Structures are given as C-alpha cells and as structure tokens.
Chains A and B, each alone.
Chain A
Amino acid sequence: MAKPMEQYKWHELNVGCVIDEVGNAREYKTGDWRSQKPIWNDAKCIKCGLCWLYCPEAAIYQSQEGFYRANLEYCKGCGICSKECKPGAIKMVEDIR
C-alpha cells in the first residue's frame, strides 16, 4: 500500500476494496503473530524439504548447506513444520522478544 492502512479515508479505497498492487501481502509482516519459533537440529535433518513444502507462509528457506531455516519476519510460529518433520528435527521453542 502506498501509505499505512490507518491513514486511508473511505473514498480513497478501490471499489470493493480490490487490491490491484501485485504481491503487496509481503508488506504484512506476519512474524508479529509468533509466540513460538522453530529450531532445527541439523544433526537429525535429512534435507527432505517437507518443512519447506508444508509451511503455509512460504517462510522457510534452504541455506547454502542445504539445511532449512525460518524467515522470522513472516514465520507465525504455527508449528506445522515441526509436526510434519519425519525425523523430528524441528522443535518449537518459546520466542521471547
């Protein structure tokens, strides 16, 4: 959005609140929602990529070494990656900020 949401007046909104700016969802940093964060135990990780596949926010990326990490700007801490990880390499820990 061209300006913060709370500054828009009603007549400045697109008809039907249509979003015509492609990809602006990335401006919404959903990491704010998080109370837990995923921690990878690389010793257990088999690099299957299921965590990357299942992440509903596409917030998991692969490092140069082939291991996975979460982009904490967008990771909501939902724990789906931890639940789906077959070797149990991902542990959800309290995220104190």
Chain B
Amino acid sequence: MSVKKGIEVSIAASIAAQLARVEVVAAYPITPQTHIVEHLSEIVANGELEAVYINVESEHSAMSACCGASAAGARTFTSTSAQGLELMHEILFIASGMRLPIVMATVNRALSSPLSIWGDHSDVMAARDTGWIMLFCENGQEVVDTTIMAFKIAENRNVLLPVMVNLDGFSLSHVIEPIEFPSQKDVDSFLPPYKPLYSLHPDKPVTMGAYAMPEIYTEAKYAQEMALINSKGIITDIMTEFGERFGRHYKPVETYNTENSDFAFICLGSINENIATAIDELKSNGKEAGLIKLRLFRPFPKDELLAVLKDKKRIAIIERAMPAGALNSPLYNEVASLINSNKLDITLENYIVGLGGRDVHPEDFIDVFDMKIAAKTDKNYNVIGVRE
C-alpha cells in the first residue's frame, strides 16, 4: 500500500533513496542539499537502512568514494549543489567513463561569485557535458518517482551510466508538498538488487579506468556516447513501466495545452508549474499557449521534442542560466540545433529568468506571450526583470 503525506521534498528525496535500498551514501553537506543527506545519515544511524554512510571532507572525495563503492558493486547515492557539483566536476567524467550507475540528486543552486545559496541552473548547465543522464523534476512527487526510476535506468545492463536527478533549490527542495510514497514491497519488485557487470573483487581481478592510448581512446569515448544516446529508449520504457506499476505516468518530453496553440514555452524544472499557471490565466482570457516540459535533458530527447515542435510557429525558451558569452543559453542552443537540422521555420526566443533565486511570476510568462518584453539590446536573449 502506498502512503500519502505532507512532507518536505528534501526529506522525501532521502526516503526515495531509502526505498531504493541504497547500500552506500558518500556526501558532503551544502545548502540547499543539506536536508537530503542529513536525513539519510539519520536513517542509516538509526539502523533503518542497511547502508554505509561515508563522511568525506569535500565533494571531490564524495564523488570519488561513490565511484569506488559503485565499482565494488554497491548501489550508490549522493547529493550536492552548486559549488559542490563544480568541485566534483573532474570525477563526474570518471563516473560516466567508467560506466558506474551512481544516482545523484542535484539540488540546483546559483554559482558563486557573487555568493548565492539560492536556486538557478548555472550549476547543472556547467556540468551538462559530463556524460551523465540528466533528468529534471517539476514537483516533489516527481523527485520521489524519478529517484526510484533513476536507479533502474542507471543499472540497466544496456545503460550502466550515472544519473543526475535535478530539483530546484528551495523552490522545490524546501517546500512541503503532499507526496505519495510507494510501498517497500512494490519498489523492491520494480527495482531488484543491483547486479554489476564488472566489480572490484579479489576473486576475479579487473582493472577499471585504465590508461587509453590514442589508438583506442576514440573508440572508448564513442562506445560511451552510444550508450548515452541509446539510453533514451530504455529511459522511456522504464518510465512506462513505472506508470503501469504505480499509476503516475512520465515521458522524456511532456506537454501542457500544446495541441491548442502554435506558440509554446520550453523549460526545465519547477518553473514549469509557474508557466502552467500563466497558461491557465491566458486561457481564461481567451488566449492559448502551450508548454513543453523537458524531463530528460541528457541524452537530448530530439525525436520526442521534434514531434511536438514541428507544427509550432513561435517558441520561447525559458532558462535559469546565463549564456556565459555563448550566443544563447544552453537549452536554446540545443533546440536551435534541432530546428536547424530539420529545417523548420520556427521563431525562437530566449529568456533568462530566476537567476540566484530571483522570484519568477506567472505574469512574466504572460508578458512573454504578449511580446511585451522586447529586446532592448543587441543580445540574442532577454533577461527578464533586469534593471537597465
């Protein structure tokens, strides 16, 4: 029997890891991820989860310990935010290159400097090319469900890649929401114990992460890239299976009201709920706008996105990260590449919102729809609300 209760999303995320019967947790506390790892340490200390909790001195060590634990065959979980993710950066590539199915809850937060503990996507966007599968959550229920699915995706023999479950700092991590928890029995049936393809064991020695000469490095990276690209079908299948078992249905690309409009927003994470509110408001005034929610960012769900994009005339890409000198923000560049390679005639607009925890209001999206936010500079994008 599943149980529904009002609970802080961070605590819910740690309970999801507990339901997944993680065997090793190595983490270093950082705001706004703290409650996730604090609660997990309590669960382990109270004997409610048979796991090893490794206290480390940094995120670099946290991810390194996770790599070791996963290489030894343990189901491994960690969580971090912002500076912590960047301190892990080097090891993120090692986890994906060594094909270690680690699951990490990344509580998205702005990067210093200036120092900010508040939410945006500058951390994950700086880590987007690390070879991890990247899923984004819109609400607390999705955090719980996605965390459970993430282990099944990561550990699939045809995937064997680390998975990052992204949830927005504070606006998601620190809110209390009604969340339905599946029973341990049902999770066990969905997610059997992890059986590694290779593991570090003295009875059968193997070498992981060995040196690759120029004669073989290209083939090694190509194999990894193919695994990442091909994981999309398995991710879709696992989302479908989850829906059949638990009654909550997910897809790599989800839509809201797109069938009624040739305009759509595209966005990642919890801001999708604000946009949906704006769409409802527009609808009550006789205007129709659609929303395309990307639940999967890596591998980029090109076919699924194309299917909903192809009959659109105008798209607004909403993103919580500065382009850092690029022509546009990261998600825009992906969508533009997809549209260009398919020769679609769609007007693209790029809006940067919610940096460093700046509140994002549904009215902002109504203004975007009504084209009230005109480009004031020669930039390719608009930063909503910036005082000029």
Name A residues whose Cβ lies closer than 8 Å to a Cβ of B: 5-6, 8-11, 13-20, 22
Say yes or no: A6 contacts B215, CB within 8 Å: yes
Say yes or no: B219 contacts A16, CB within 8 Å: no
User: Given A10-B223, A16-B208, A17-B97, 8 other A-B contacts at CB below 8 A?
Assistant: A13-B216, A13-B220, A16-B97, A16-B160, A17-B223, A18-B198, A19-B206, A20-B198
Say yes or no: A18 contacts B208, CB within 8 Å: yes
Across the interface, which residues of B come within 8 angstroms of A17, CB to CB?
97, 209-210, 212, 216, 220, 223
Across the interface, which residues of B come within 8 angstroms of A16, CB to CB?
97-100, 160, 198, 208-209, 224
CA distance A16 to B220 in the complex (A): 8
Q: Mind listing 20 A-B residue pairs with CB under 8 Å?
A: A5-B216, A10-B219, A10-B220, A10-B223, A11-B223, A11-B226, A13-B220, A13-B223, A15-B160, A15-B227, A16-B98, A16-B99, A16-B160, A17-B210, A17-B212, A17-B220, A17-B223, A18-B198, A19-B207, A19-B208
Query: B205 on the interface (CB 8 Å rule)?
Result: yes
Summed over the interface, the residue pairs from A and B with CB atoms below 8 Å come to a total of: 54
Say yes or no: A15 contacts B198, CB within 8 Å: yes
Of all chain A residues, which has the CB nearest B226?
A10
Say yes or no: A8 contacts B207, CB within 8 Å: no
Name B residues whose Cβ lies closer than 8 Å to a Cβ of A: 97-100, 160, 197-198, 204-210, 212-213, 215-216, 219-220, 222-224, 226-227
Across the interface, which residues of A come within 8 angstroms of B205, CB to CB?
22
**Of A8, A15, A20, which contacts B216 at CB under 8 A?**
A8
Say yes or no: A14 contacts B198, CB within 8 Å: yes
Across the interface, which residues of A come within 8 angstroms of B97, CB to CB?
16-17
Across the interface, which residues of A come within 8 angstroms of B219, CB to CB?
8-10, 13
CA distance A81 to B246 in the complex (A): 65
CA distance A13 to B204 in the complex (A): 19
Of all chain B residues, which has the CB nearest A23?
B205
CA distance A11 to B230 in the complex (A): 13
Q: In the assembled complex, how far is the CB of residue B234 from the closest CB belonging to chain A, in whole angstroms? A: 14
CA distance A46 to B340 in the complex (A): 74
Of all chain B residues, which has the CB nearest A7?
B215
